[in-house]
A and B are shown apart, each in its own frame.
Chain A
Amino acid sequence: MTGGDPGSPDGGIERREALKAMGAALTSLPILDGLQAPGPVAQGTPMTSQTQGVKGGPRGGQWDPDLLHPRKDWPRKLSANELATLGALCDTIIPADAKSPSASAVGVPAWINEYVSAPYDGQQRDLVRVRGGLAWLNLESMKRFGKAFRATSSGERTKICDDICYLPNATPEFQAAARFFDLIRDLSAVGFYTTREGMQDLGYIGNVAMPKFPEVSPEIRAKLGL
């Protein structure tokens, strides 16, 4: 990392510096509150309405949310049991390694719960696929190993996942499960790599203010044959 800490809660020291740099720009626009002009309908409206001013800023709701204070507080739908099964699957897809922690260590199951609980058509369709997939996973695990998926060993998990991890190779009885697996893989990737730990793993070094945009380094130029 060469540029501080883009993923920390406050964006790191660079963000504070940048906010300081914004000081000079901190002015706001004065705006009138509804013109008081003579007209066929507005006649006789008291002059006071001119002086109230219009408050800026978001008015709330889905079409005009407060972008500086995001809310994602819709009710969550997955049960504790479902989340535990999901956590086991997410960690099978994104386990801890030398460079970064596992999916569940950075809250990926909670992210997927946020996602599938969201009040949108696409997400509600995905909720059915995720719930159905988690139920299938436990049934399959019981059938093969006599225990719930989260109680299986990593070797046992691999046996199931190898059958469903690649849709083009999945046999007919595993097609639905393979679609479920790919959805969880995609959601896990989004959940994981948008965290500070995930961005560090990839080597994303942006979202920091700097005085000049740097030229491509000689090392990269050489690798690209430039």
Chain B
Amino acid sequence: MFLTNPKARTTYDVIVVGSGAGGGMAAYQLAVAGLKVLVLEAGRHYDPVLETPMFSLPKDAPLRGGGTREKPFGFYDATVDGGWEVPGEPYTTAPGSEFRWWRARMLGGRTNHWGRISLRMGPYDFKPKTRDGLGADWPIRYEDLAPYYDKTEMLVGIYGENNGLENTPDSSAGVLLPPPAARPAELLTKKACDPLGIPVIPAHRAVLSIRQDATTLPRRLHPDNALARRVLAESMRSRQACFWATECGRGCSIKANFQSTTVLLPPALATGNCDIVPDAMVREVTLDKSGRATGVSYIDKRTRSDRHASARVVVLAASACETARILLNSKSALFPAGLANESGLVGKYLMDTVGAGISGQIPALENLPPYHYDGAGGIHRYMPWWLYQEQLAGKLGFARGYHVEFGGGKGMPGPGIFGGLEGYTQGAYGKRFKEAARRYYGSFVFFDGRGEMIPNEDCYCELDPEQVDQWGIPVLRFHWKWSDHETKQAAHMVKTFAGIIEAMGGKPVGTVQTDGARAIARGGQIIHEVGTCRMGTEAKSSVLNEWCQSWEVKNLFVTDGAPFVSNADKNPTLSILALAWRTCDRLVEELKRGNL
């Protein structure tokens, strides 16, 4: 765990701020390209191989592993020093706005605990305005990112299947790993959905269902780069296949799922070209007199002292909101409104994913004999959006689609198990309660819609003029308002799910909230914030160009979710990774050409 002989440099080619999906990918791509890279991470050093509570049981955890303010997703969730709050680093919301901001303060950021759902954006998703007149188009097409989707999927390892469905792109041959078998509730749901015309297909998740081919893949991914092939092959050989137990949200000590800390940072370090400094909270990007970025100033959290790091290029990958915060806080005579903000759009068009869900009790699932449920530690099947044509024809009353994450069954008993059994049993206790527990165990299913939000003027973050965090950095203030497109979509979700539950012969749990404005999750709650530094084709209407490069500061790039122009219903991490790879290819070319 100690670095005994660091090759600490006084200057670097590139500083990468953040070590999650976008930062980890940047660190890897730039280091294998031979650049000297410094990664600054605001959280502590974290190593999933040594720290993950793989088989730990709820009974051994405080509160049986249940969520608390400090561990909101449960005791064993991987998140360190974070959740909906980070101690000493608050944020505020404007009057009338509700927004929640999930952060982690650890190496690898939120890649350590995420759901690993890895869906490609499709051709429609890059040109939404062209298609329905709303929001804005990306400056790139699906075809521009498709090769990077293929490469990213091969690099990190994604299970799934090509189903040839509308706007749900197939991967190239030999890219995807085989999907795991369906669980009983997933099969029963498919049976109910087939007649409803709702497709139920293998989920795409960043989990190794089999080991990666460490001989072939490095050659395919890096045909002209011997260093990259060597470190990647070594990294792939250190990863085990999933052993079909334990939740992915805890992290994975056998490296079977994707975390930046197990998949991207180890090979980046193995090049010898990359250094990582944890506990480094970046305050601002520093500039020379001509307006070029010279590096970043940051706070060493452990000594509470100010530091500076220099580089030829700065890459921000601190998360959409934190990246906006750094830019807005980088004020100077040259850039009085914050860096890269001549358009005034830094922090604007903040998006999250629309979320709404219900559960159901399904008599057909009662009293089934024991079966294996744990599986890949997340969903094996999902429903991609299926009403593209009806929607385009204006039949739905809202403009964009959603996919459905669903499941249920005989998972590991934990906190909350059998809460609500009072109602199902009219107050059973004694032997009757134990019999009811056996009967109902595994008979509940859940359906969660995850839908596209259209960017709007009312959703943005800005520096709060009245409050700083414990490091003296102004905190973010969030503004949030869903439009009718989102609330109607949420209403469509719950009605659809109630229909599926009914088709399965079951009943929804509790009362179904059909008012979309009440059914919809709060802003930020789905933890898919993107879009605070949108890319575009012209400087006046975007923060970044088509290469995620600042229009105004040529040696400044962004590789997290901030460049997103829209937020398709496809969970953003895979697209962040693919886009970051593409951005880094451009960055390396431009450095070679002497343009940076």
Contact = CB atoms under 8 A, between A and B. Distances in A.
Contact of A32 (B6, B53, B308, B410): B6
Interface in B301-324: 302-303, 305-310
A55 interface: yes
B187 A226 contact: yes
Interface in A36-67: 36-42, 50-59, 62-65, 67
A34 B418 contact: no
B245 interface: yes
B388 interface: no
Contacts of A57: 1, 45, 47, 50-51
Interface residues of A, number: 103
B412 interface: yes
Interface stretch (A77-85, A130-138, A141-149, A186-194): A186-194
* A21, A182, A211, A215 interface centre (most CB from chain B within 10 Å): A182
Contact of B6 (A50, A158, A205, A219): A50
A56 B50 contact: yes
B45 A224 contact: no
B253 interface: yes
A202 to B, nearest CB: 5
A207 B374 contact: yes
B417 A211 contact: no
A92 B429 contact: yes
Interface residues of B, number: 119
B240 interface: yes
B80 interface: yes
Given A50-B6, A56-B45, A189-B437, A42 B253 contact: no
A155 to B, nearest CB: 12
A29 B181 contact: no
A30 B276 CA distance: 8
A99 interface: yes
B49 interface: yes
A195 B58 CA distance: 8
B371 A205 contact: yes
A65 to B, nearest CB: 7
16 contacts: A11-B57, A21-B243, A25-B254, A30-B3, A32-B275, A35-B280, A50-B6, A54-B2, A54-B45, A64-B81, A67-B250, A167-B422, A185-B433, A204-B411, A209-B244, A213-B372
Interface of A: 1-3, 6-7, 11, 15, 18, 21-22, 24-42, 50-59, 62-65, 67-68, 70-72, 92-95, 97, 99-100, 111, 114-115, 118, 120, 123, 158, 161, 165-167, 169, 181-182, 185-186, 189-191, 193-195, 198-199, 201-217, 219-221, 223-226
Interface of B: 1-6, 8-11, 38, 40, 44-47, 49-64, 68-71, 75-76, 80-82, 87, 107, 180-184, 187-188, 191, 237-240, 243-246, 250, 253-255, 261-262, 265-266, 269, 275-280, 295, 297, 300, 302-303, 305-310, 364-365, 368-376, 410-419, 421-422, 426-431, 433-434, 437-438, 441
Closest 7 CB pairs of A and B: A39-B308, A166-B427, A53-B2, A209-B243, A203-B370, A165-B427, A72-B62
